[in-house]
Amino acid sequence: MATSALRAGIPTIVLGPAQPAADPKSRRARRGSRGEARRTRLGEAAIVVTMVPDADGPSSRLRSTEGMLAALAPGSIWVQMSRSAWRESSTSPPSSSKGGPTSHLSTRPSRASKDPAEHGELTIFASGPDGAVRARLTPLFDALGHQTLWVGPVGTGTRVKVVNNTWLAFGAEAVDASVALAHRLGLDTKTMMDALEAGPLVSPWQSAKLQRIVSGDFSAQFALRLALKDVLLALDAAGDGRFDALRVVGRRVATSRRGRPRDEDLTVVTQVLEMQGDAR
């Protein structure tokens, strides 16, 4: 996403997690110097985008948010694209005694895959204030994606993304279970891909997943760990036991993660289903 912004000529600074030093004294000194540098850079930014895939917990997230808000200049815009808990994204951020942003937006990129992000082809679900704020963000969103949908007040974009990724989870389940079943019946993936794509049921996203399975490429385009996080967010949002099918998908994804590399694609569920069949 940062590369897409730079490609569009938007000045961009990327701040990632600090790497710890081996010596505790050096670690404290580095943390202090890096923290000051971060605060200075954040104070110079007109727009700050947070995109954090894994949250360390509510208390850690709150401390990080408060620290960031304290560093932002008045008039800046905070665009929250993180995969944080959906309820937290539905409210405005705490106020900052040092100014803080005048506008807070909750946005979520859809088409959850690496390739669209690299090529600036995301669809962005944006929610927050309208008017001048949207106008200021248009060049950035145009650089990151091919379409921006404004869906309502802050937090609505997060809810839309939870539903979107529920759809994605079931779409992935269709690919994984169907391919695993095809192999059990002695059919190869290429034959099944051609047969399925001859009809109207396969989405472009599913077609790309089938093609990667055919080539044996299970590198992370949409990581299994992130898929599990999204399913759990959807189940938490549902708040009751009526979504049994989604719960089954969640259990399957959770089981598939055990003992496997951290950054495999969601399609490795196909391999797990096949191994479970062989074990029986």
- Report pLDDT digits (tens) over 3-18: 999 999 999 988 875 5
- What is residue 203's predicted lDDT score, i.e. its pLDDT? 92
Residues 90 and 176 in one domain: no
Residues 131 and 22 in one domain: yes
Task: In whole angstroms, give the CA distance from residue 6 to residue 20.
Answer: 28
**pLDDT-based confidence at residue 108 (cuts at 50, 70, 90):** low
Residues 143 and 180 in one domain: no
Q: What confidence tens digit (pLDDT) does each residue in 123-138 have?
A: 898 988 878 888 999 9
Long-range contacts of 9-17 (CB under 8 A, 24+ apart): 10/139, 10/140, 10/143, 13/41, 13/45, 15/41, 15/42
**pLDDT-based confidence at residue 31 (cuts at 50, 70, 90):** low
Residues 86 and 131 in one domain: yes
Q: What is the mean pLDDT of residues 220-235?
A: 84
Its sign, for the CA torsion 7, 13, 18, 21, is positive
The residue among 128, 153, 178 that closes a domain is: 153
Task: In whole angstroms, give the CA distance from residue 98 to residue 260.
Answer: 45
Domain range for 29: 2-153
Task: In whole angstroms, give the CA distance from residue 50 to residue 65.
Answer: 10
Sheet holding 47-50, edge to edge: 47-50, 77-80, 103-109, 122-127, 145-152
What is the largest distance, in Å, between two alpha-carbon atoms of the chain?
Answer: 66
Residues 166 and 115 in one domain: no
Which CATH number covers residue 134? 3.40.50.720
Task: In whole angstroms, give the CA distance from residue 279 to residue 264.
Answer: 22
Q: What is the mean pLDDT of residues 110-116?
A: 65
Residues 172 and 124 in one domain: no
Which H helix or E strand runs over 47? Answer: strand 47-50
- What is residue 139's predicted lDDT score, i.e. its pLDDT? 94
**pLDDT-based confidence at residue 191 (cuts at 50, 70, 90):** very high
Task: In whole angstroms, give the CA distance from residue 94 to residue 119.
Answer: 34
Residues 228 and 140 in one domain: no
Residues 120 and 187 in one domain: no
Q: What's the structural domain count of the chain?
A: 2
Residues 147 and 178 in one domain: no
Residues 228 and 110 in one domain: no
Helices 156-184 and 204-214 meet at what angle, rounded to 10? 40
Residues 136 and 168 in one domain: no
Task: In whole angstroms, give the CA distance from residue 197 to residue 189.
Answer: 12
The residue among 104, 129, 153 that closes a domain is: 153
Which CATH number covers residue 268? 1.10.1040.10
Residues 102 and 177 in one domain: no
**pLDDT-based confidence at residue 107 (cuts at 50, 70, 90):** low
Q: What is the pTM of this model?
A: 0.74
The residue among 153, 187, 220 that closes a domain is: 153
